[in-house]
Amino acid sequence: SEENRRMERGEYQSYPDHPERFDGWDQVLSIERVTGRCYWEAEWSGGEADVALSYKTISRKGFSSDSLFGENEKSWSLEIDNNSYSVHHNNNSTDLPPPPSPSNRVGVYVDCPAGTLSFYTISSHTHTPSHTQTLTHLHTFYTSFTEPLYAGFYVYDGSSVRLCDIE
């Protein structure tokens, strides 16, 4: 929805099988790949959501760790649950300390050649005349990316996530 920039978990609908559709977990991959150095922001509402980066070759079938963002060697994820954050990769999970200001927006910076993936929270300061924003670093993964990368999103019941326009 919203020009393919928003994901919301709705009622189950039956679709014909397609090799690029996740048929278990409620998650999606972007159509366009992430190349070079790239930054984007995502905003969520409701309860829990994941923002991820994944190889296109991630498994799409069933409810296994092979197909869940962050639970295999093909994907990295930031799990957001209210103001609680954790990062996941290859079945390893790290709980992160809460940022100083609550936020429902995260920034993602990936440097493909350098092999870094960083997550940030973005806090708006609407009480200031310039409506400034503060980026708070949450975590950086250091790796060697071996395949093209794609943005991924997972939503839980009652949640939605959308890609933001950056001002």
- What confidence category does residue 9 fall into, taking pLDDT thresholds of 50, 70 and 90? low
Q: What is the pLDDT of residue 68?
A: 96
Residues 6+ apart with CB under 8 A from 11: none
Please indicate, yes or no, whether the overall pTM of this predicted structure exceeds 0.85: yes
Q: What is the pLDDT, as a whole number, of residue 40?
A: 95
* pLDDT for position 126: 61
CATH fold of 25-30+37-162, please? Jelly Rolls (2.60.120)
Check residue 118 and give its pLDDT: 99
Banded model confidence at residue 41, pLDDT cuts 50, 70, 90: very high
Determine how many CB atoms are found less than 10 A away from the CB of residue 20.
9
156 has a pLDDT exceeding 70: yes
What tens digit of pLDDT does each residue of 78-120 get?
999 887 999 999 999 999 999 888 889 999 999 999 999 999 9
pLDDT digits (tens, 9 = 90+) for 19-33: 777 888 889 899 999
Q: What is the pLDDT of residue 82?
A: 81
pLDDT value at residue 102 = 82
User: Would you list the domain boundaries of the chain?
Assistant: 25-30+37-162
Decide: 35 and 164 in contact? Cβ < 8 Å: no
Q: pLDDT tens, 124-152?
A: 766 666 668 889 999 999 999 999 999 99
Residue 13: CB atoms within 10 A of its CB come to 5
